[in-house]
Structure 1
Amino acid sequence: MGAAKDKMDSLGRVLGGFGRQLGLEKQEGHLFPWAPVCLAVGIGLYFGLRAEPAVWVLALCGAGAAAGLWSARREGPGPRAIRVAVALGLAGVALAGARAHLVAEPVLGFRYYGPVEGRVVGIDRSASDAVRLTLDRVRLDDVASSRTPHRVRISLHGEQRWIEPSPGMVVILTGHLAGPSGPAEPGGFDFRRHAWFQRLGAVGYTRTPVLVLEPDAGGVPVFAARQALSARVRAALPGETGAFAAAILTGDRSAIGAGTRDALRETNLAHLLAISGLHMGLLAGVVFGGLRMLFLLPRRIALTWPVKKIAAVGALAAAAGYLALSGGNVATERAFVMAAVALGAVLCDRRALTLRSVAIAALIVLITTPEALTGPGFQMSFAATTALVAAFGVLREARVSDHVPRWLRPVLAVVVSSAVAGAATAPVAMAHFNQVSHYGLLANLLAVPLMGTLVMPAGVAAMALMPLGLDGLGFAVMGWGLGAILTIAHGVAALPGAVGQVPQPPGPVLPLIAAGALFVVLWQGRVRALGLAPVALALGLWVGAERPALLVSDTGKLVGTMTDEGRALSRQRGEGFVAGIWLENDGDGAGQEQAAARWPETGTPWVEVQLAGRRIAHLRGKRAAAAFPGCDGEDLVVLDTEPSAGWRCEIASPALLRQTGALAYYHDKYGGLRRVSVRDVSGIRLWNGARPALWPWPVPRRLAARAQ
């Protein structure tokens, strides 16, 4: 017993010394911002699983989280922090799993063509610039209600001159529908998971006119108000300027053209379209300042009333209305919580902008919508906000403003905020969108001041004057500012080399960058510099990232092989969406036709290429399959129809691809090809076919079946 006690004491001294080296004693009072980080780790763990956890496992995680938080009250500072961290991680798993089950709705498991009836609850535009309708209360011909998706989204092609879709309208059309598709390649963006949490069970298109069954079925008052305000804004400001104004005032982007979207994205000004911290902060600031000045005019009120706090309440009400009107995406929710915390601090006579307020906003978003963690909106929004609060906190402590002339301080604030926000969001934008804006800082330095000093104040004034019918005055000023911003965006985007292409990073890159950056920002003491190590590791992994030598689409209709000139595609037209994603993920700026020209001519009804000593043949259609002489050995044949011959080689047919999803082949160390499928990476989850299970994976199937 004595020897065991000595060993435990030695271990305790070693851990204590290690803790002192890390500066654990300095973290007391600075641990709350780590709460959303721990919660996010649990959420990320749930989404990273290869198999759907059993329901009782999720319940056990929730119970463990509650027990851990309760028992942590009796512990000392160090053990308490560890218990709380573990409990929050378990809570993240339970919250994400519960959310995935709560939003479960039927997903269309086959291709449908026929009548589609539903109520309009969303209007936006697709990547091809077509108007899209999101419908609920869906009815499909000969499809039982238990199998009918809760929502469907349909792109309108062809001439649609009969109606102007409006909120609450019940429409009928003849359309093509299918369940949401999976990733275009293993490890790529999983639209099927994204659609699951939107309760979107089918997507498709129609080329026939949409007909009205009922002009207004009601039930969507906020959406109707947003569309009505958007229409009024676009009536006052026609063209792209009005579409831009409607987007920042109401969140309605359906009228913005593809050219404008591309220009804003290429100049790193796309954040101006999202109702985020900039817009919410400017709105709340303008309302707060305006109300405070208004109440200060009467001397008696200024001396006897708590004018500052009354103005804060008014600004909070305006921000809440803005949140409701905008539709409440992740960036807007985060911005509102930040504004609410800041205004609440004014009411309580406390300092407003701290990392605690950012942590509170992150906790609220993660608890209500855990799936937001995986999206670029959440990642970019909180990366920018955390970096800005931390950077301005350092500048405030260093009293930098004391050494800067008063007239130069606003300019310095714009430069610093643009540079810090741009640097913080750049890795996320590059990872998700595969491009980097080389002149984004220049565009933001020119455009952001216009947004803050002209556009948003004029927009608030227009909204305030709207009941009097004088909103045209505010919209006119707003139009001048937005016109200048659009001119800046198009001008900067037209500069040579304005946009660079980057390849898709490996999966661990963004988590490593986030972990390292958060350690640098949140940890106290000099040891925070250790956070640079995972960032450097992530950048090294990104630079050395290997793209697949061969890609096969999940329909078998497109094949892409890597060459010295870039990826060569097996066809010039068709499967354009998948082709675009592959080329973007390669960091290749070529179009599909240019990439198809890299594929060698064969003079046969099929196309083929040699790769790693293997013959890769792509057969499109029954005619090519009938003319194909056959294969053997290490050959790989990709078809978009089922083969009729008994070929003795590896075959990727639609039947196989429906089970595996898209395929990627990498060079292995033996000089051959290693196959990875979407199913290998994504696993079997609720959104791609898994059924809710009562038993976890280690239980043998026979025992689980008997128990059920």
Structure 2
Amino acid sequence: MGGAWRLFALSQQEGHLFPWVPVCLATGIGLYFGLRVEPPVWALAALGLAGAVGLVLARFARGRPRIGLTALTLVTAGTALAGARAHLVAGPVLDFRYYGPMEGRVVGIDRSASDAVRLTLDRVRLDRVAPSETPRRVRVSLHGAQRWLDPAPGQTVILTGHLSGPAGPAEPGGFDFQRHAWFLGLGAVGYTRTPALLLEPPDGALVVFAARRALAARVQDLLPGQTGAVAAAILTGDRSAVARGTQEDLRAANLAHLLAISGLHMGLLAGVVFGGLRFALALWPAAALRAPAKKIAAAIALVAAAGYLVLSGGNVATERAFVMVAVALGAVLCDRRALSLRGVALAALVVLVLRPEALLGPGFQMSFAATTALVAAFGALRDAGLQARWPAWTRGPVSLVVSSAVAGAATAPVAMAHFNMVSHYGLVANLLAVPLMGTVVMPAGVAGLALMPLGLGWIGFGVMGAGLEAILRIAEEVAGLPGAVGHVPAPPATVLPLMAAGGLVCLLWRGAGRLAGLVPVGVAVVLWAGAERPMVLISDTGRLVGVLSDAGRALSRERGEGFVAGIWLENDGAPVPQERAAARWNPSGMPVQTDGGRIFHVRGKRETAAFWGCDQGDIVVTDAPRADWSCAVICGASLRRSGAVALFREESGLRRVGVRDRTGDRLWSAWPQNTAYGAERSRFDADTELCAVREEARLSPGMVREATGR
């Protein structure tokens, strides 16, 4: 009976299995990134060969063996694909702190988290660093007075600043910027407080980037202030002029997706071009009667969408949107149904093959979660005949409400997991802003672009600006409402994969078996609700300690290490200013609620000399340890081997987990070589000496570089 039921359930999937292809591929990609040890190249090659052979064998198989073999082959191919991509983008990474002159060509301009202009440079030259060890790309934030440089694509600039290798996660299990930078080709990041200077004018090689910046500047000339900055971001993907406050308002109102060139923008642009051309051709009797006006309009709209993709820089959301639009317009050209889950699957497949690392980013996850849910929901409504029963005048408003609610529900878990926040009035804000985007902003923007060669672009951009001003006002008002934003703690690493698996089963599986997808979703919710935050967090530099108290996390410093402090507090689900968190710290010692131990943060020689000592069971975090302390010591040497450290409360004491315990040794991680370091420990032993380098065994700068990998 069970075999017959499984056979019947499988027969229901006939013709609906293609959407599972990117799911299997993504599973293999996820397995690669989940490894703690980098697999050798020969193993990746073997997996790739096995995947190719498996696909050939699957063509000759039948029934369930064919499905199982194809799925296994795709998982294998995904692992090999991700590994190949990681090796293809490999480049030098700076393994020490550099201060001195640097030179490079501007290939990227954006803004940092501190709202400073930030340049990405290639063709980098560093003083006294060999070309073979010089990163291919670096990213530098420009602080201080920068009157002498107006950044432009292709310029060669010189400056004096600080550089270091990309930092690892701020806490175990946190966002891995080292991995992110590896796939961006960034070998170092840093800043300068001295003026950057122009060495050579633009070389003319970065045509698309220069065109994007020129168009963005033209739009901002016609639309000053943040209205023009947002218009430039929507039309060109250039967000360098969008202020941090504007972004925070949009994020709080759940309207940040309006800044990203995604399905909404690509669909609206293609729709406006398609609809406008069909209307124009219908007014021309000869064309309307003799030419396939619909297909001509679709072909030209496809060209316009491709140009939009190239101009915008082609991020993950834009690539997905273009593939979806291309599939829809291609379906019009072939007289097929435009939107389907197969189209979404094809878009996901293209993105994953080109950039497997995109799977781990919120952009990919939110984009495909929303699109898959929307296509599945409206497909179900269409199949049930519900849309046809609605009065004609209600279909537009009802579709808007349904789409906003479905997309919001699908993306909410991803946004909460990555950004630790939820917008309580996001649905209301989207119901007010999205119609303005579709009926005013994008049509006027397309009209402005079309009229620019005639010198009449100001007409379209003026209307576009009025619509954007209304949207920004909506964002500001919604963000200012009491309780507009809620905060949640960071989930365990297994939560999002479980939710994704359950959601995909619910959306892609055919028949009653889809309800089984609710089980992993429920498990994920339970795991998230019971998530334990670390009792103690220690930064990888040892300059900041955070202890969880009844009032929230207490920080050992009011200033300094602000980026790390912000991440810790956000992951706790209770973001407050660092000064407020520091006010919770007891200067005489912060009690830890286990074994009567205390945690101390002692910085520098003066504090070390004045420190009266510690008892058995206490923990001292310091950069200048003393030999007469009888308690456990955590300092720079151990932290450089482990990365940031988290201590979790257990009945037997404290369990110590380092970043290295979670990330392992991968291509993109920088750990000291030839340094023994154990795996995750089941219990923190207060009698174990964790600090290998004491004050009396000081290392020379060259030895420090070799020992720390920095």
TM range (shorter): over 0.9
Kept in 2: contact 1:244–1:273 (CA 8 A): yes
Query: What is the 5 A alignment of 1:111-510?
Result: 111-510=97-496
2:572 is matched with which residue? 586
> CA offset at residue 427 of structure 1?
0.1
> CA offset at residue 646 of structure 1?
5.3
Q: Which amino acid aligns with 1:444?
A: N
Kept in 2: contact 1:28–1:77 (CA 8 A): no
Question: Which consecutive unaligned segments of at least 5 residues does structure 1 have?
Answer: 1-12, 693-708
* Aligned partner of residue 490 in structure 2, secondary structure: coil
Q: Which amino acid aligns with 1:145?
A: P
Query: What is the 5 A alignment of 1:563-582?
Result: 563-582=549-568
TM-score of the two chains, using structure 1 as the length reference: 0.93
Q: Which amino acid aligns with 2:632?
A: E
1:72 and 1:646 map into 2 onto residues whose CA distance is 68
The one-character-per-residue Cα deviations of 1:361-407 (angstroms, maximum 9, x if unpaired) are 00000000000000000000000000000000011112222222211
> CA offset at residue 658 of structure 1?
0.9
Report % sequence identity. Answer: 68
2:6 is matched with which residue? 19
Q: How many residue pairs align between the two structures?
A: 672
Kept in 2: contact 1:52–1:690 (CA 8 A): no
1:30 and 1:502 map into 2 onto residues whose CA distance is 36
Query: What is the 5 A alignment of 1:81-92?
Result: 81-92=67-78
Q: Which amino acid aligns with 1:684?
A: D
Are residues 1:674 and 2:661 paired?
no
1:621 is matched with which residue? 604
Kept in 1: contact 2:604–2:624 (CA 8 A): no
Single out whichever of 646-655 and 208-217 deviates more from structure 2: 646-655
Q: Which amino acid aligns with 1:469?
A: G
* Aligned partner of residue 422 in structure 2, secondary structure: strand
Kept in 2: contact 1:250–1:325 (CA 8 A): yes
- Matching residue within 650, 669, 674 for 1:688: 669
The one-character-per-residue Cα deviations of 1:101-153 (angstroms, maximum 9, x if unpaired) are 00001000000000010000101011111110110000000000011011111
* Aligned partner of residue 318 in structure 2, secondary structure: helix
Kept in 2: contact 1:608–1:618 (CA 8 A): no
Change (3 A) 1:337 1:690: farther
Kept in 1: contact 2:268–2:442 (CA 8 A): yes
* Aligned partner of residue 153 in structure 1, secondary structure: strand
* Aligned partner of residue 302 in structure 1, secondary structure: helix
Question: Which consecutive unaligned segments of at least 5 residues does structure 2 have?
Answer: 674-710
> CA offset at residue 525 of structure 1?
0.4
1:510 and 1:377 map into 2 onto residues whose CA distance is 14
1:3 is matched with which residue? none
Q: Which amino acid aligns with 2:6?
A: G
1:105 is matched with which residue? 91
2:591 is matched with which residue? 609
* Aligned partner of residue 163 in structure 2, secondary structure: strand
Kept in 1: contact 2:95–2:670 (CA 8 A): no
* Aligned partner of residue 618 in structure 2, secondary structure: strand
Are residues 1:552 and 2:544 paired?
no
> CA offset at residue 532 of structure 1?
0.4
1:538 is matched with which residue? 524
The one-character-per-residue Cα deviations of 1:268-288 (angstroms, maximum 9, x if unpaired) are 000000000000000000011
1:52 and 1:360 map into 2 onto residues whose CA distance is 29
1:243 and 1:311 map into 2 onto residues whose CA distance is 31
> CA offset at residue 621 of structure 1?
1.7
- Matching residue within 507, 520, 539 for 1:521: 507
> CA offset at residue 306 of structure 1?
1.3
2:515 and 2:383 map into 1 onto residues whose CA distance is 19
> CA offset at residue 691 of structure 1?
12
2:34 and 2:381 map into 1 onto residues whose CA distance is 38
> CA offset at residue 410 of structure 1?
0.7
Are residues 1:665 and 2:647 paired?
yes
Q: Which amino acid aligns with 1:637?
A: V
Change (3 A) 1:444 1:98: same
1:276 and 1:402 map into 2 onto residues whose CA distance is 29
RMSD: 1.4
* Aligned partner of residue 27 in structure 1, secondary structure: coil
Q: Which amino acid aligns with 1:627?
A: A
2:693 is matched with which residue? none
Q: Which amino acid aligns with 1:659?
A: R
The one-character-per-residue Cα deviations of 1:309-340 (angstroms, maximum 9, x if unpaired) are 11111000000000000000000000000000
Kept in 2: contact 1:119–1:217 (CA 8 A): no
1:48 and 1:642 map into 2 onto residues whose CA distance is 36
1:704 is matched with which residue? none
1:440 and 1:250 map into 2 onto residues whose CA distance is 25
Q: Which amino acid aligns with 1:19?
A: R
Kept in 2: contact 1:549–1:665 (CA 8 A): yes
The one-character-per-residue Cα deviations of 1:557-588 (angstroms, maximum 9, x if unpaired) are 00001111111111111100000000000000
Kept in 1: contact 2:163–2:189 (CA 8 A): yes
Q: Which amino acid aligns with 1:412?
A: V
1:34 and 1:196 map into 2 onto residues whose CA distance is 29
2:41 and 2:630 map into 1 onto residues whose CA distance is 43
Q: Which amino acid aligns with 2:26?
A: A
Are residues 1:74 and 2:74 paired?
no
2:206 and 2:618 map into 1 onto residues whose CA distance is 56
* Aligned partner of residue 633 in structure 1, secondary structure: coil
Kept in 1: contact 2:566–2:575 (CA 8 A): no
2:584 is matched with which residue? 598
1:415 and 1:397 map into 2 onto residues whose CA distance is 19
Kept in 2: contact 1:550–1:559 (CA 8 A): yes
1:212 and 1:77 map into 2 onto residues whose CA distance is 65
* Aligned partner of residue 668 in structure 2, secondary structure: helix
Kept in 1: contact 2:423–2:486 (CA 8 A): yes
The one-character-per-residue Cα deviations of 1:607-657 (angstroms, maximum 9, x if unpaired) are 543441212111112211222234453221111x24253534322111111
Are residues 1:38 and 2:24 paired?
yes
> CA offset at residue 162 of structure 1?
1.2
1:699 is matched with which residue? none
2:369 and 2:644 map into 1 onto residues whose CA distance is 32
The one-character-per-residue Cα deviations of 1:165-210 (angstroms, maximum 9, x if unpaired) are 1110100001011100000000000001000000001111100001
2:15 and 2:380 map into 1 onto residues whose CA distance is 18
2:513 and 2:143 map into 1 onto residues whose CA distance is 58
Query: What is the 5 A alignment of 1:625-640?
Result: 625-631=608-614, 633-639=616-622
